Amino acid sequence: MRDSIMTVVGPLVFGVVGFGVWYASMFVDNQFADALRRGSRKGWFWRNVEAVCLPLFSVLMVLFGIAKLAEAMGAPEWFLFCMALLLMCLMVPGVSAFLPIKFPDRFYADWQYAKRHDLLEDGKAGKKSSQTRDSGGVDRHMGTGVTMRVASGWRQLSTEERSELGNLGQDESIRFIAVGEATEGYVPNIVITETEVISGKGDKEILDGSAGRLAEPHPGCRLIDDTVAPYPTARTRLVTGVYTLNDTSMTVSQLVWLTRHRDEDEESRRFLWAATCTCPSLACPSIIEDFMTMARTLEVES
């Protein structure tokens, strides 16, 4: 009796849990779902397992549990035969997911995430920027060693536009610049930089100094937040401050993290990355929300 109960309850539990994990990855925004999506970016195999195998496996387990329950309750043979036939049919697309093929874009969690956050739209017409599409069919904008999806209302500066910024546009540490729609007479912007760390300080000490580095270029800057962010890496620091520019309150928020590279001599080198968003404080809530949403899609060379 106990064994028969387990053959019914076990598959049902596995099926429900598996379906819950798939649903979280596809349609939920929290740290657990982010971790699931990061795992699926390791290659086509894991992307297809998440997109196709996991939901089909969950459905198969639930149907198997229902079939065993029906059998225990004395269901007719024709019903059990139909259930077995349905299970066999569902196994075919499940096996195909192990092949190096691409399914429709909406099957993938990254595409669903981008759709929820309006990251599928291109930038303004007529503005050129480096752009590609990832394996989930989502538009990604590329800088030097950087890829990121740009939210609706934002666009990446083209090479021609950057050349018009003078010294800022020529700064070799800048890897990516994106701008939003003008607010209060100012254009919100996101600037991503990379600089090699020459100092012998430890990683924690370097990241702890991010608050001071944020305030330096902004006279009178007052820090209002210094915390840990879960992306782009697990040890990213998020620092936010406010300052006054031409009688307008401005908010600057910066994500800071470290990466390591190995050169030809197998010597490890550290690089400090910073993604800085600057905008008028009155428009801060929606713009910072866009900034953090885009930061979830940010990938850099490491």
Question: Bridge-partner residues for 139, per DSSP?
Answer: 133
User: How many residues belong to the chain?
Assistant: 302
**Residue 96: how many CB atoms within 10 A of its CB?**
14
Within 10 angstroms of residue 220's Cβ, the number of other Cβ atoms is: 10
Neighbours of 42 (CB within 10 A): 9
Cα gap 230→234, rounded to integer Å: 5
Q: Work out the average pLDDT over 254-270.
A: 79
Closest CA to 25 of 43, 38, 11: 38
The neighbouring-strand residues paired with 271 are: 196, 259
User: Hunting for tokens 């390591």 — which residue is that?
Assistant: 260
Q: Give me the helices (H) in the chain, please.
A: 2-27, 31-40, 44-48, 54-72, 77-96, 109-116, 159-163, 167-170, 203-208, 210-215, 284-295
**By C-alpha distance, which of 138, 152, 149 is closest to 180?**
152
Residue 70: pLDDT band (50, 70, 90) is confident
| Tens-place pLDDT, residues 155-184 | 888 878 877 777 666 778 899 999 998 877
pLDDT score recorded for residue 198: 85
When the pLDDT of each residue in the chain is averaged and rounded to a whole number, the result is 81
- pLDDT average, residue stretch 87-116: 80
Global confidence as pTM: 0.61
Residue 253, pLDDT score: 94
Query: Confidence band (pLDDT; 50, 70, 90) for 208?
Result: confident
Residues 241 and 217: beta-carbon distance below 8 Å: no
Of the chain, the end-to-end C-alpha distance in Å amounts to 56
Per-residue pLDDT, 126: 36
Nearest 5°: CA angle at 199, between 196 and 204?
A: 90
Looking at per-residue confidence, does 73 or 3 come out higher? 73
**Weakest-pLDDT range from 196-200, 222-226, 289-293:** 196-200
Q: Are 135 and 274 in contact (CB under 8 A)?
A: no
